[in-house]
Amino acid sequence: MTSAPTLATSPPPAHRPDSNDPCWCGSGRRYKRCHRTSDLDRSVAQAGGAPLVPSAPRVRPGVVGPLREVPAGIVRPPYARGEGMPAARDPGRPRDADTIARMRVAGRAAAEVLAAVGRAVAPGVTTDELDRVAHTETVARGAYPSPLLYGNPPYPKGICTSVNEVICHGIPDSTVLAAGDIVNVDVTVFLDGVHGDTNATFFVGGEEAADLQSRELVRVTREATWKGIEAVRPGARVRDIGRAIQTHAQEAGFSVVRQFVGHGIAQQFHAEPSIYHYDEPSATRLLEPGMTFTVEPMINVGSWRAVMWDDDWTAVTADGKRSAQFEHMLVVTDDGAEVLTLL
Ligand code: MF3
Ligand code: CO
Ligand code: CO
């Protein structure tokens, strides 16, 4: 329940307060409960008429195209050689220097592929076209697109493309991107025996095409990802990462997805430890130099709850409101973290 803001007796400031700070008007109420909405309405006019909230219809499943061929010379992970999923989950102990060196190369390759796909995001482009770009760029680097044939049922494409209210694991298909959409592209490559995993959310048609709520969601999600990464150091615990992320997301009025987590990674795609993006009290494991894992929070405008499509992969928000995500892969160092998925 909210009531309308009281009449302002002082003019709005040039820089808006944070959501939970007192409103500039002196009412004593939190900004988000007072003049925030009307200020955003004014910045709409200043921004040239961008809407406050999105109006796109719900995302629907499209047609998934045929499997893409991977050249014979490229080394496949075990699950793509018909050996099934790993019998035992890698416990996520610190990695040796040689493994970390190879993960630097795989992480950089994944970041390069992600950037190439990002340049291809535009109105009128299908998500399958983004998969084609990723496939070409991945095999050009001598790498295997890790999602292809991963899991159960086997994932049918080489990347994930998650549009608007799709939280994660959207399958590239005949869906046509439109100006004002947001799309997360998640790239994982298998190179020299290890995986490199990174993702980012892009604005279709540029940020200017997006509504203000989606712009804020994407900004806060990027910031939350980095707050999680900045919590990484030897002696900190896994739960400290999630606490930093959750605090930032909730201060902006957004929610944190609980059903999907970051993960240890090296020779196995998904290893221990699970990296929760909220404060999980049982996540007491200490971080040690040489541990390698991802931080990949999914942040929602509305409810944190997820619903799965019939394809057994695509996860969408229960309320149809938008979701954004960023992902980096890192190694714990002696005094913090080295991010392995930067350009
Ligand atoms: N790249 C995703 C992650 O960050 C996993 C995708 S698995 C897939 O963990 F099979 F859906 F591709
Ligand atoms: Co990941
Ligand atoms: Co990923």
The helix/strand count (H/E) of the chain reads as 5, 15
Cross-strand partners of 316: 166, 307
Report which of 82, 304, 97, 121 is spatially closest to residue 204, judged by C-alpha positions.
121
Q: Which of 167, 197, 201, 298 to mutate to test the pocket of ligand 1 (most atoms within 8 A of CB)?
A: 197
Q: How many CB atoms lie within 10 A of CB 36?
A: 19
Atom of ligand 1 nearest to the CA of 294: 4
- pLDDT of 131-152, one tens digit each? 999 999 999 999 999 999 999 9
Identify whether the C-beta of residue 51 lies closer than 8 Å to the C-beta of residue 209: no
pLDDT at position 19 is 83
Q: Which of 166, 169, 260 to mutate to test the pocket of ligand 1 (most atoms within 8 A of CB)?
A: 169
Ligand 1: residue whose CA is nearest its atom 11: 169
Between the CA of 264 and the centroid of ligand 1 the distance, in Å, is: 13
Residue 22 has pLDDT above 60, yes or no: yes
pLDDT at position 36 is 75
Between the CA of 199 and the centroid of ligand 3 the distance, in Å, is: 6
Mean pLDDT, residues 235-249 taken together: 99
The C-alpha atoms of residue 274 and residue 263 are separated, in whole angstroms, by 5
Per CATH, the homologous superfamily of domain 81-339 is Creatinase/methionine aminopeptidase superfamily (3.90.230.10)
Mean pLDDT of the chain: 94
Q: What is the DSSP string of 175-228?
A: PBP-TT-EEEEEEEEEETTEEEEEEEEEETT-GGGS-HHHHHHHHHHHHHHHHH
Domain boundaries, the chain: 14-49, 81-339
> Which residue do the tokens 């070409």 mark?
136
pTM: 0.89
pLDDT at position 28 is 81
- pLDDT of 269-283, one tens digit each? 999 999 999 999 999
Identify whether the C-beta of residue 90 lies closer than 8 Å to the C-beta of residue 264: yes
Ligand 1: residue whose CA is nearest its atom 4: 197
Between the CA of 329 and the centroid of ligand 1 the distance, in Å, is: 13
- pLDDT of 154-188, one tens digit each? 999 999 999 999 999 999 999 999 999 999 999 99
pLDDT confidence band for 323 (50 / 70 / 90): very high
pLDDT at position 41 is 60
pLDDT confidence band for 8 (50 / 70 / 90): very low
pLDDT confidence band for 335 (50 / 70 / 90): very high
Identify whether the C-beta of residue 327 lies closer than 8 Å to the C-beta of residue 315: no
The C-alpha atoms of residue 333 and residue 180 are separated, in whole angstroms, by 39
pLDDT at position 218 is 99
